Chain A
Amino acid sequence: MTARRLLRLYPRAWRERYGDEFAGFVGDRPLSLQQVVDIAGGALDAWTSRSVRASVRGSVAGNSTGGATMVQALKLRCASRTAPYSTKDALVGAGVVIGVTFVMLALGIAANRSGHPGLGETLKGLAFPASMLLSMPFYLTKSLSWRAQAILLGVPMVILIVISYVATKI
């Protein structure tokens, strides 16, 4: 496994900021298992750490100022720290939370009444957390790649479904 391939695990903004020096640091030599694990852990950290994302955004804004004044640089830097979604996106996300919650509760009640109490309880239990997860692509994770979204939403969704299903069997 080469460092160049592993670098693809990192967010694009991170690669733009640190990619060159990171590749220069690692070089073209084959990596040990320990290094592969360390780089994969670093990629996960780059996706999830607020501190690292802020550093990358700050650096990109700082690099793009050229001969700008200090105030302009500060404005750019602050502007780069705004949420990656608009008010409209947030309202759509809220609508999805409310809509999905009601639909799943209705389906759960219907399943209970038609003689499927296990499925009914699972749907009712999942209603709110699943709606939160399903709303994320509309605002919170909107700026991420489809692959990152699939991991961020898919994994918790599978865990939630398994937990809800097991809970109804206990």
Chain B
Amino acid sequence: MKKNTDLLADLGRFSEPALLILISLADGPKHGYAMTQDIEQVSGQKLGPGTLYGAIARLEEREWIEPLPADDRRRPYKLTGAGHKVLRARLESLRAMAKIGHARLAEN
């Protein structure tokens, strides 16, 4: 069985947009436009529509996010329990990696 930390990496070139979407949904449901605004504020990256919906479809297929009833043409998404676990594992892994990186920089 794969570790939660490896699961996001399986998304290939969509792994980073998917991580940013999961982070964006961590504080509550958002629709596509709100997600991209939030992601731009948090990471400085502006996700294009094709990339955003490619990542959303993959996250939905893995049941890490789920759609809520649409409001006009805007459909919000929320993080599922499984998505929460995957996000937590990935963030822990990034924290460990950053710690090692900082320690190595300090050595030199």
Q: Which residues of chain B have a CB within 8 Å of any CB of chain A?
A: 31-33, 36, 48-54, 56-58, 60-61, 67, 70, 72-75
A135 to chain B, nearest CB (A): 29
Q: Verify B51–A42 contact, CB threshold 8 A.
A: yes
In this complex, how many residues of chain A approach chain B with their Cβ under 8 Å: the count is 28
The A contact surface, by secondary structure, is helix
Q: Verify A35–B49 contact, CB threshold 8 A.
A: yes
Q: Which chain A positions have C-beta within 8 A of B60?
A: 55, 58-59
Within the assembled complex, what's the spacing in Å between the Cα atoms of A43 and B56? 14
Q: Verify B70–A41 contact, CB threshold 8 A.
A: no
Q: Verify B75–A21 contact, CB threshold 8 A.
A: yes
Within the assembled complex, what's the spacing in Å between the Cα atoms of A17 and B54? 13
A35 to chain B, nearest CB (A): 6
Known contacts: A52-B54, A55-B61, A59-B60. The answer to whether A42 contacts B74 by CB under 8 A is no
Q: Verify B74–A24 contact, CB threshold 8 A.
A: yes
Q: Verify B61–A51 contact, CB threshold 8 A.
A: yes
